[in-house]
Amino acid sequence: MAIVNATDQTFTAETNEGVVLVDFWAPWCGPCKMIAPVLEELDSEIAGKAKIVKVDVDENQETAGKFGVMSIPTLIVLKDGEAVDKVVGFQPKEALAELLAKHA
C-alpha cells in the first residue's frame, strides 16, 4: 500500500476505517525529513494491516488544528476515525511498529 497524502478535504475519507498512522509534517521540518524513509519502510511491512497518511500542516491547517498539533512531526494513530494514540518527534521504525501493533 502506498502512503497517501491527505488534505483537509480528503482526510476523513482516507482515515475513517481501520488503523491509520497519520504523519503531520511540513517540507521545511528537519525531523520530518528524517522520518519519511522510516515511514516508507514501515509501510511495506504493515501492508494490509494499517495505512499511513501524511498531512502537510502548512497546507491543511484545519485538520492539524482539529487534532491539536503544536509541533511536528506529530504521529497520531486513528482507529475507525477516532484518535487512539499520539507521539511527537522522530521515532524509530520499531517504536512505530509497536505503536500500530497495540491497535491492530
Active-site residue, from 3, 4, 26, 29: 29
Phi, psi of 65 (to 5 degrees): -65, -40
Q: Does 98 qualify as catalytic in the annotation?
A: no
Q: What is the CA radius of gyration of the chain?
A: 12
Q: Does 29 qualify as catalytic in the annotation?
A: yes
Active-site residue, from 32, 46, 64, 76: 32
Q: Which residues are catalytic?
A: 29, 32
